[in-house]
């Protein structure tokens, strides 16, 4: 198994350390952004839409089972 290819952040495409969720990656910087940006802020809304992709994939997987 050779899975050393870095996964880039779902939001900023950076590859800093952070969360890995089901093959998707969110760097700690973007994770903090989501925590501190006020709801309704356009950047927050953008991040939120990106994060939804993780769960969209999850739903797809569930449907196949
Ligand atoms: Zn990021």
Q: Is 20 helix (H, G, I), strand (E, B) or coil?
A: strand
Query: Per the confidence metrics, is the pTM higher than 0.75?
Result: no
65 Cα–ligand 1 center, Å: 31
Residue 27 C-alpha to ligand 1 middle, in angstroms?
4
Domain enclosing residue 23, as ranges: 18-64
Spell out which residues have Cβ within 5 A of ligand 1, the ion. 9, 11-12, 14, 27, 30
Q: Give how many domains the chain has, as a whole number.
A: 1
What CA–CA distance (Å, rounded) separates 15 from 6? 7
Give domain status of residue 4, yes or no: no
Pinpoint the alpha helices (H) of 6-64. 28-36, 42-64
Residue 45 domain-assigned (yes or no): yes
Q: Which of 52, 34, 53, 54 is nearest to 44 (CA)?
A: 34
Q: How far apart, in whole angstroms, are the C-alpha atoms of residue 1 and residue 26?
A: 23
pLDDT tens, residue by residue, 26-59: 999 999 998 999 999 999 999 989 888 877 766 6
Centre of ligand 1 to C-alpha 25, Å, is 8
């Amino acid at each position: 198994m050779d899975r050393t290819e870095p996964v880039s952040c779902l939001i900023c495409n950076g590859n800093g350390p952070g969360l890995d969720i089901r093959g998707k990656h969110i760097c700690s910087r973007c994770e903090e952004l989501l925590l501190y940006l006020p709801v309704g802020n356009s950047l927050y809304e953008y991040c939120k839409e990106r994060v939804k992709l993780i769960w969209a994939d999850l739903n797809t997987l569930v449907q196949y089972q």
